Structure formats: C-alpha cells, structure tokens
Structure 1
C-alpha cells in the first residue's frame, strides 16, 4: 500500500494545532527540541528494554489493525515506538510537533515516514489510517485538549480502525498533577497530567471510539509514581 505524503502545516496551523495544554504551550515544544538527542541516548532507540506488557500491547494493536493498513504514531517523538511497530510488519507514519524530535526520528528510523504536526489538527487525510497509536503523547494535555485530539483521532481513522492509547494514571486530568523541570540532563518546562482509565475511555468515547480492551500495569521502579494505563478502542463502522 502506498501512503500519500501528508500535506505540510502552515505556520498558522502549527500554532493552532499545539497538542499541549495551555499551561505549557510553546515551552513544551521547546523542551522536547532541547532534549531530543539526549532522549534518544538515555531512553534508547527501540523498545527492547521496555516491560513485556508494553511490547504485548503494541503487538495486540498491530494484530488488531486491518492487514496492510497504514498506522499512525501520533506524538511519535524520536520514533522508537514507530520503529518497533514497523518491525512488527506494519506500515507506519509518525507525526510530532517537535522539529528536534523529528530530526532524530528520521535519522534513526529511515523506514518510517514522518510529518510535522499537532494532534489537534493532524496533517493527515480523513479515514487514511487503519490504526492510530498515542504512546504517552497525551501526558502534557488537559482533559479539554485530549477531547479535541480525540475528534482528530476519529477523523483520521478509517471505519473499524483501531486506536491504542498509553498514559499515566491518576485521580484527575483537569489540572497538571505535577511539573517536570529537569529531564534527560536539561532544564525543561513540562506539565504532567494523569487520569483514570474510565475518564480516558469516556473522553474518547464521545467521538465514536468504542473501548474493546484495557490493561492497567502497576508502577515499576522509582521513576513511575503511579500505575500506567493502556486502552484499545475501535472507531465505529
């Protein structure tokens, strides 16, 4: 299957399309531009060191998507998840707001196509994806912005397409649970949102995305203060 090249966003659209919460804004994009190279070095370029649950969820996502369909890694960062999904046999396009992260992604994962854009206005045609993946890419976004993203996820998914969302769990996603001021060896300014699985599923459900499965994993190590949630949904036909 040949994937048509996504259109480029205008500068105005890039401003409007920021997927981060208003409390972060351009500072979040700048933070990821700053840490891009360090992130790739410290976190790694693949998923080999991740917990078995993560790899299992990604395999279920790929196998639940229609054979031969293009899947999108939305908020792809340095492309390590997109590269792993590509290795599972899927055709992948990655989208991210950070030019710095995309430069690293294109260098390290040449077999994946990447495009610049925000998750509230994706540079993708309607119905073009058989699957969409948001791997912790909503963690800097309020409930209101996740709702706007959900509308875009539903738009770019084909009828019956699968959405997989990984996120940090917590009691309430209406305000940042914390702020990250230093990460990957650099000063950053990143709001961190956590929300219950039921709330995430409900937000996505407003846009015709129906939950089919969920996994809750307890925290591992000191770097994870809360459980991690994974929800698989399908766009109504």
Structure 2
C-alpha cells in the first residue's frame, strides 16, 4: 500500500515552539537536531537490540492495527521504529519535530514517508490513521502538552483505531523527574517526565482513547525506573462493524 506524504509544516510553523509549555518546542527540536547523527550511529537503524518486551509490544500493536491500515509513528526520531513496523508489513508515516532527525530517517528508511510536525498540531488529516504510535515521544512533555497531544491522537485516528504509547513509569508526572543535559556526546537540555500508568491512562481516556492493555517491565541495564506500555482504542463505531 502506498501512502502519500502528509502536508509538511510551513517555514513559519517550524519556527514556533509548542504553545503549551516553555520547555517544549524549540528546545526539544534543537537538542535532537544536535544529536541526530550521533544517535543514529550509537543506537543503529533497527530494533534488534531492544528488550524482548519492546519488540513484543510492537508486534501486538501491528497485529491489532491490521492489514491495510496506515500507522503514524508520532515523534519518530530517526525512523528506526517506523522501519521496524514497516518490516512487520505495516504502512507507516513518520512525523517528528526535529529536521535533523528527519533527515536521518529519510536517508535510512526510504520505504517510509516522513513529515515535519509538532505532536500538539499534527500535519495529518482527521481520521487518516488506523494506528498511532507514541514511542517514548511524550517523555519530554508536560501534562498540558500531553493532553494536547492526546486530542490530536484521537483526531487523526479512525473510530476503533489503535494507539500505543511507550513511556517511563514514575510516581508523579506533574513535573520533570530529571533533566537530561548530556546525551550521545552532545550538550542538550531536555526535561524527562516519569508518569504513573493510571494517570497517563486517565489523561488519554479524557479524549476517548480507551485502554485495552498495559505492560510494565522492570528496569534493565542502566534504566533507573520501570518502562510502561499502553494499548488503547479510539472510541466510536468501527466502519463496517455494524455496532
């Protein structure tokens, strides 16, 4: 299935940081622009080295979306997860705030369409996606930002469409748990949020995104906290279901 690239943001839109929190937008974009090439070299193009649970969750997500649907990898970075999903037979379009990350993504994953965009105002038509993936792409965002993102996730999904969110688990997501100031050989400034699973599920649920499953795995290697994965469906009748 061929999926035409979505509308890219205009030059004016690209210069506007997120309107929902001062640490968003331009600071996140600049940090990821600076680390894009180093990130790709250190992390690689695929998901083979990831933990079993990560690959398992993505496999379940791909099956839940089903054949013929289009998935949006929202906050796709260098496109390695988008490429992995494409390898599972899913049509994918990737969206990211960082032009630097998108340049790497387009170079390394030519089978995937990519576009620049802020997750609080996605450059995608309403109801165009059968599945949406936010793979650790909310971890630098405040609750207010994530609320705006959730509204966009619901908007771009078809009724019954599947959302998968990967995130860092913690006791309180109302403020950054820490700040990342050095990554992949570069100076950066990125807030890191760790959220309770119930809180994130409830936030998404306010926008008609209903939890169907959750996985929490314990920390591995240098991870300080557990990692969470939520699967949800957009409320509403699925076309052709007769429900």
Same fold (TM over 0.5): yes
What's 1:30 paired with? Answer: 30
What's 2:159 paired with? Answer: 159
Once the two structures are TM-superposed, the CA of residue 27 in structure 1 deviates from its matched residue by 1.7
Cα distance in 1 between the residues matched to 2:17 and 2:37? 24
Mapping for residues 134-213 of structure 1, pairs under 5 Å:
134-213=134-213
Name the Cα RMSD after superposition: 1.4
What's 1:227 paired with? Answer: 226
What's 1:18 paired with? Answer: 18
- SS of the aligned residue for 1:72 comes to strand
Inter-CA distance 17–6: structure 2 relative to 1 (3 Å threshold): farther
Cα distance in 2 between the residues matched to 1:80 and 1:128? 22
1:6-31 Cα distance to aligned partner (Å, 9 max, x none): 11222343355639842244121101
Does residue 87 (structure 1) correspond to residue 63 (structure 2)? The answer is: no
Corresponding pairs, count: 236
Conservation of the 8 A alpha-carbon contact between 2:16 and 2:25: no
Mapping for residues 60-71 of structure 1, pairs under 5 Å:
60-71=60-71
Conservation of the 8 A alpha-carbon contact between 2:17 and 2:25: no
Once the two structures are TM-superposed, the CA of residue 46 in structure 1 deviates from its matched residue by 0.5
What's 1:127 paired with? Answer: 127
Cα distance in 2 between the residues matched to 1:107 and 1:11? 21
Conservation of the 8 A alpha-carbon contact between 1:59 and 1:88: yes
TM-score (norm 2): 0.94
Cα distance in 2 between the residues matched to 1:27 and 1:97? 11
Structure 1 residues without counterparts, runs of 5 or longer: none
Structure 2 residues without counterparts, runs of 5 or longer: 237-243
Cα distance in 2 between the residues matched to 1:42 and 1:190? 19
